[in-house]
Structure 1
Amino acid sequence: MSEARRKGRRGALLILSLAGLVFGGIAAAGFLGGYRINTTPSFPLGLWRIEALHREVRVGDTLFICPPANVPAIKLARERLYLPAGLCEGGMAPLIKTVVALPGQTITVEGDQVAIDGDRLAHSSIQQWDAQGRALPTYTRGVVPLGELFVHSNYVASFDSRYFGPIPAGGVLGMAREVFTFQP
């Protein structure tokens, strides 16, 4: 191999190495700065930021929240790859979900839709089967316990509290704010 060719390969390796370091540095800075990339259709795709929440959670808040790893429906969702990998307990990524019910509110299922304190929740039809024909777990009713939240996404195939029930408010990482997103 000629000297010029060796120098060319070394130069290319150096450029690729530097590019990898720069990309890794940007990713690490983004992660440490609270930035996350959403690749699921439950909310717009793209770059989101976790913002600190300096008040009590309210109905209508869109949050980043870690799902509890010890809930059977969550375990099933992770096994079936409904939930992406990440740094929450159980190796899951935080969810982006909107709070639709707080402790003390009553959840029921009327037909195939969720109702909160008797009022039907828009975009809350419950699917019986996933895209591969496997039965889905369903949360059918109950009062949201103290310290927990009932979370939802308007996306028809979102895996949310319709399937796993209320989840601990202690998993809230902060408000979910769009930075650069798009709807496919």
Structure 2
Amino acid sequence: MTAIHIATAPMKRRDNALLFGLAMITMAFLGAISSAWFGHYRINLTPSEPLGLWRIGKLDRPAAVGDLVFICPPQTSRMREARTRGYLRSGLCPGGVAPLVKSIIAVAGQRVAVGVGVNVDGRSVPSSNVVQLDGQGRKMTPFPGGIVPAGSVFLHSPFAGSYDSRYFGPIPEAGVLGLAREVWTYAP
């Protein structure tokens, strides 16, 4: 019995060291995720804007045309359909989706027209062509256009396959988390 105990003692120490090592790695990983979350860092994995690490910057004024923002999409039928189709990634916004990174191209009171492309107050928005079918051949329904309502913003990305306001229309400014600041990114 003593010989068995002596032979298994080094194995137990090795197992304990392995468990301790795994616990430390897990704690470091969870600590990094917590620091990133509470430090307002996010990873963008969609081609709407450069891929990589971004930071949410404080926005202590009303959102304005030209702002590149992180915004939580509202829980609407269009957004639920977008989630089902795979246009929105999982995340911590209401509805279980990740925040969008988009530029604001119109704010309350501005007139948006959506046809072949997008016009704001009669001015054409570059790289705003509207597609009829998504990458899977499913019909895309563009936003019909109109005046951006109070408390709302109209979003855009120059990426041709972007799912933005040209399809879902204006969304509440209240969902803006802050300005999108590149930390470490690359454009494929």
State if a TM-score over 0.5 links the two structures.
yes
- Which residue of the partner structure matches residue 25 of structure 1? 31
Identify, as 1 or 2, the structure richer in strand.
1
1:54-65 counterparts in 2 under 5 A?
A: 54-65=60-71
1:25-174 counterparts in 2 under 5 A?
A: 25-70=31-76, 72-110=77-115, 112-174=116-178
Radius of gyration: which is bigger? 2
- Does the 8 A contact of 2:114 with 2:166 survive in 1? no
Q: What are the superposed Cα offsets for residues 78-97 of structure 1, whole Å, 9 maximum, x if unpaired?
A: 11121111111111111111
Q: What are the superposed Cα offsets for residues 96-129 of structure 1, whole Å, 9 maximum, x if unpaired?
A: 110000111111124x111111111101011111
- Secondary structure, counterpart of 2:158 in structure 1: coil
**Within 2, Cα distance between the matches of 1:102 and 1:31?**
29
Q: Which runs of 5+ in 1 are unaligned?
A: none
What is the deviation of 1:137?
A: 2.3
RMSD of aligned residue pairs (Cα, Å): 1.4
Q: Which runs of 5+ in 2 are unaligned?
A: 1-6
- Does the 8 A contact of 1:73 with 1:137 survive in 2? no
- Secondary structure, counterpart of 1:124 in structure 2: coil
Q: What are the superposed Cα offsets for residues 7-51 of structure 1, whole Å, 9 maximum, x if unpaired?
A: 333322221221111011111111011111111111111111111
- Does the 8 A contact of 1:49 with 1:179 survive in 2? yes
- Does the 8 A contact of 1:106 with 1:142 survive in 2? yes
**Within 1, Cα distance between the matches of 2:135 and 2:15?**
47
Is 1:177 equivalent to 2:181 in the alignment?
yes
**Within 1, Cα distance between the matches of 2:187 and 2:8?**
51
- Percent sequence identity is 46
- Does the 8 A contact of 2:57 with 2:181 survive in 1? yes
- Which residue of the partner structure matches residue 11 of structure 1? 17
What is the deviation of 1:2?
A: 4.6
- Which ranges of 4 or more aligned residues in structure 1 deviate by more than 6 Å? none
**Within 2, Cα distance between the matches of 1:66 and 1:86?**
10
**Within 2, Cα distance between the matches of 1:27 and 1:8?**
29
**Within 1, Cα distance between the matches of 2:135 and 2:87?**
11
**Within 2, Cα distance between the matches of 1:9 and 1:120?**
65
Name the stretch that deviates more: 132-141 or 20-29.
Answer: 132-141
